[in-house]
Structure 1
């Protein structure tokens, strides 16, 4: 349940200065000036009053330590209420009408809700966290419990105060190889944020990696903090909590000081919105007995430097640097080995490319019926999914049912397709179901047949990058995009569109494939990068340029081969490694709609298929007696 901010503001205005007086008296502010609503700060030591009530926005603001505190914070702190409970109390006091009918209501059908562990004495848990300088009061505030075996229990409540996920961790140091975290058995889980039901959207939100770091932040005195549910490597929480996250004008991201933490920051900040995100600069080294030790997370900052240091780091969080301007010395090294990207699955092509890195744009060209769509389906969609990334497809020429069928043929492969003639292919229903279960929720296709404008398509791409974490985007093809201009400015608009794609790829660290047709050329001539229709700037802007040419019967005859190649894939440009003007001859498999140059590529199993096959796929170039799955060739 998301409560409209205007209603909360209305209720605060109704309560007005009474809230300031109530907070001051409840907390016993020193040197409280009831007329000017000013006092010594309750949260840090000072000799001159700097805590002042802001009558416009109805909260206390300390000009010394930066603390902001309103009546909802007070209700949550003083009366141990959740945010929803605090708002309900405020609305009741100010007679603001609002229905809280969804509170504590389990609305998910067929969801197996976890069982709340009973409250018992926290012997092991209290001792364990005390060693990490986290108090019983903080554990109570976050409803941390102890199970029968002495493990710590973390209860994940949604914004309606409904328990959706329960996690456990041993209340001791965990040896390498042993599980540090697990969820409640026989219960479903949802990737919501820990502590999200105690968050005030009017305050800056701090996001950290784990529950222990969150406890360290609250122990230090900052309570508007959530932690991600399953570590830095999982980003499903962004989509699940998207509406909740959209409430905040300021988000502080404090990830761990390690490779995964750095990667998390780089990935989530663009999705959360760079304009509202702030980064922290915590201490990274502590000297112990004359030896420098690496400081990795928030709990270690609390342990080695104290609460004040944690609050100082939060208070000094900096805006993300101005877009387009950066100190080159601070730029992260480009590491070919570890930088994310997608392999094509064709051995020789990958030898030249290494991989197609995220943050780049690839142009694919080729004449009509040359195999562009097959290349896109196999290299840009199939391989993307198989390597664990989701994909968006704008297909201006294929209908959605046609696209679905072509893609599935490539996924299934020869072993599970029976072709009855040149065009009819049959897949067993159980295989079809396994394939669809594998890619369900991972391929998004454009579904607005009335609006192909560049503005709308780019907006949907950005929404998918932010909300769904999609990493690969396919636009097939450039000519189907409405560039919102007349013919006299078409070349300039094409250039501007590709520039936007390059900026989009860089901003969200994604890979964009753009199919661009060549100009009309001679029937038997291979297209080059200079033949791409439209502005010549298109290929200059791209990081990669590839082409596909389908050999004519005359060209195949000249090869003098009993089983001639079907097509040739040209690598015209590879900006990142400098390798270019390479060509790869490939065969086309009519059954599975795959290109291949080796039998391993022809018989590749996508990850939906976990069977082990003893029989090897016969070489179509040599086989005479063909197994059942190759009948029809």
Structure 2
């Protein structure tokens, strides 16, 4: 049932158990907007044959996943269409509403300029109409959404709204931008004199999540966000606010992000910008922005700054190494987000295919998204390979049954949700070009991995004035900076140079990381180095971790044996075949 759990996770639905039967949990579509955020309003039924269906009793969010003959929810969505609400004529701003804003430190002038008004609409939380405040979401001269807030702090938005940021027209190229948590905080910054401030419409997550729903407005405004100067992240000073701040910094680039923190009042932490405005005034809000600290980036630090991190390592807390989805391989290699990983092997020994299977498995297990630059394979061929791995059936006609047209459609829908492809059809790109597209994919799709397959497609862009060794050193440094700033794992496939077999030995020798084209930097600067080698005599594939930077946390160098099963087009590791490098078992 693990596939059902993974498939539900892709929809933002989390169950404690995959046992067949009825389950209750929170709804990814509406729980974060409701007063009782932890109320299990979503009913999920897991059927014995591996299919799950769900329905929310509050917002009507419904769907199904799993089952060989069932169309997945991600395929059923189809092209997105948005409804633009009609502007309200003669918006009402009664004194009572203006007095409420004044009590929060926000003037009538600011309220009027923002187009806020009072109205009465139906709320699903009470199944009835309530008086409420309306916050228009305008962008480029058009009304795109309206968010409503009742006196009881019930929230709702227009149906099928375009995902845009609040106050999106304030984003200006080359100017600083504040991103906060909620319309009231945005108005508080405006009241304090900051005009360039935006907010996500759906607040902060209560826990880490894989759904892209919350971050869709970042994709809408991706080009504009990439063009701003500094980004001041001013989310709430609580757990969800810190989760949101970290994800925003990851997507927008830590190198240009600054963290706004709010002060204490009588030894009590002010939660947000509006609390600070109400209790300490506009000068205090301005001082918070003035005192914002740059997001931590590599440099000189005092050892005491790392005390919490060291204790987390000691107690096994904090970011943990992640599995490739092969349990036996975990002993030889596990990756950490933000690493630079080199994969090599003799041509046609399966290195690209093995890495594709890792991509599919991590996407299924963790909901990860991957960006792929693979000009040698070609995008259509690469998608066909991924579909084979996901479906477990061959794409082409052969000795075993190929996938059906429906299975192909399901597989392509899944690949569309989890992979984005970088393609330079009319030129040989430099690494800066590839990383710029990958950065856009981080903002727009939230990708966590980048595959470059192979390096020599980039090497062709080497300037004549640079030696190959200098070029490779700069290339790796750029990739590692990108990986660290965006917490993205970069996987690169590098072909070895031509190596000769020992006299009297007809087998192709196993390459080392020092055999890679151009430079020993591949071995020295990589966080991990893997070799994929096909032993034709034994009909086995060896995956060898030649270098692991963080041992034993990320594994210990060694060999694991695999079989490639043509009927399902997947690698299957052979149990209990891990052997440390240099042992007799490893050589066998």
Same fold (TM over 0.5): yes
Q: Equivalent residues in 2 for 1:377-392 (5 A)? A: 377-381=356-360, 383-384=362-363, 387-392=366-371
Distance across 2 between alignment mates of 1:258 and 1:585: 47
Deviation string for 1:484-520 (max 9, x for gaps)? 1569932332233222211221122211001122342
Offset of residue 452 of structure 1: 3.9
Q: Between Structure 1 and Structure 2, whose CA radius of gyration is higher?
A: 1
Aligned to 2:478: 500
The farther-off stretch of 321-330 and 162-171 is: 321-330
Q: Distance in 2 between matches of 1:576 and 1:170?
A: 52
Give the corresponding residue for 1:18.
Answer: none
Alignment match of 2:456 (pick from 463, 471, 479): 479
Distance 1:444 1:256 in 2: 35
Partner residue of 1:436 out of 408, 412, 420: 412
What is the alpha-carbon distance in structure 1 between the residues aligned to residue 331 and residue 105 of structure 2?
Answer: 52
2:335 is equivalent to residue 360 of structure 1: no
Distance 1:493 1:220 in 2: 49
TM-score (normalizing by structure 1): 0.64
Q: Do 2:388 and 2:395's aligned partners in 1 also have CA atoms closer than 8 Å?
A: no
CA contact (8 A) 1:204 1:248 kept: yes
RMSD over aligned CA atoms reads: 3.7
Cα distance in 1, alignment partners of residues 479 and 468 from structure 2:
16
Answering whether residue 118 of structure 2 is matched by residue 141 of structure 1, we say: no
- Which whole-Å CA distance do the structure 2 matches of 1:452 and 1:252 have between them? 32
Which of residues 118, 124, 140 is equivalent to 1:159?
A: 140
**2:524 corresponds to:** 540
Over residues 248-301 of structure 1, what are the superposed CA-to-partner deviations in whole Å (9 max), with x where a residue is unaligned? 445433222234444544443465466765443421x333xxxx4333322222
Aligned-partner SS, 1:433? helix
Give the deviation of 1:408 after TM superposition.
0.9
In the alignment, the residues of structure 2 paired with residue 590 and residue 260 of structure 1 have an alpha-carbon distance, to the nearest angstrom, of 46
- Please state how far the C-alpha of 1:322 moved relative to its aligned partner: 7.8
Task: Tell me the alpha carbon deviations over residues 435-491 of structure 1, each in whole angstroms, 9 at most, x when there is no partner.
Answer: 323332642232335314444334433444455543211011123322515699323
Match of 1:228 among 185, 191, 200: 200
**Residue 199 (structure 1) shift:** 6.6
Say which of 183, 190, 193 aligns to 2:162.
Answer: 190
Matched, 1:375 2:359: no
Distance in 1 between residues matched to 2:454 and 2:441, nearest whole Å: 19
Question: How far apart are the structure 2 equivalents of 1:213 and 1:241?
Answer: 20
Counterpart check, 1:590 vs 2:566: yes
Asked whether the equivalents of residues 261 and 288 of structure 2 are also in contact (C-alpha less than 8 Å), the reply is yes
1:405 paired with 2:355, answer no
Offset at residue 538 of structure 1 (A): 0.9
Deviates more, 1:127-136 or 1:388-397: 127-136
Any conservation in 2 of the 1:545–1:571 contact (CA below 8 Å)?
A: yes
Contact 1:124/1:171 (<8 A) preserved: no
Asked if structure 2 preserves the Cα contact closer than 8 Å seen for 1:419 and 1:591, the reply is: no
Which fold has the larger relative contact order, with Cα–Cα distance below 8 Å and residues 6 or more apart in sequence?
2
SS at match of 2:547: strand
1:502/1:541 contact within 8 Å kept: no
Cα distance in 1 for residues equivalent to 2:349 and 2:379: 21
Residues 380 and 474, structure 1, Cα contact 8 Å, conserved in 2: no
| Contact residue 518 and residue 531 of structure 1 kept, 8 A | yes
Residues 335-367 of structure 1: per-residue CA shift (max 9 Å, x gap): 5654387531112333554x5222111111222
Q: Please say if 1:343 is aligned against 2:323.
A: yes
1:521–1:527 CA contact under 8 A, matched in 2: no
Return the match for 2:82 from 98, 104, 111: 111
Query: Structure 2: which 5+ residue stretches go unaligned?
Result: 1-78, 122-129, 206-213, 502-506, 576-588
State the distance in 1 between where 2:229 and 2:493 align.
Answer: 38
Q: Distance in 1 between matches of 2:527 and 2:413?
A: 34
1:309 paired to 2:276: no
- Pick closer, same or farther for the CA change 1:592–1:487 going to 2, 3 Å: farther
| TM-score normalized by the length of structure 2 | 0.68
Which segments of 5 or more consecutive residues in structure 1 lack a partner in the other structure?
1-107, 174-179, 557-565, 600-633
Aligned residue for 1:448? Answer: 425
Secondary structure at the counterpart of residue 188 of structure 2 = helix
The alignment partner of 1:484 has SS state of coil
Q: 1:156 to 1:455 in 2, by over 3 A?
A: closer
Shift of 1:382: 5.1
Distance 1:154 1:465, change over 3 A: same
Aligned length in residues: 464
Instruction: Give the structure 2 partner of residue 86 of structure 1.
Output: none
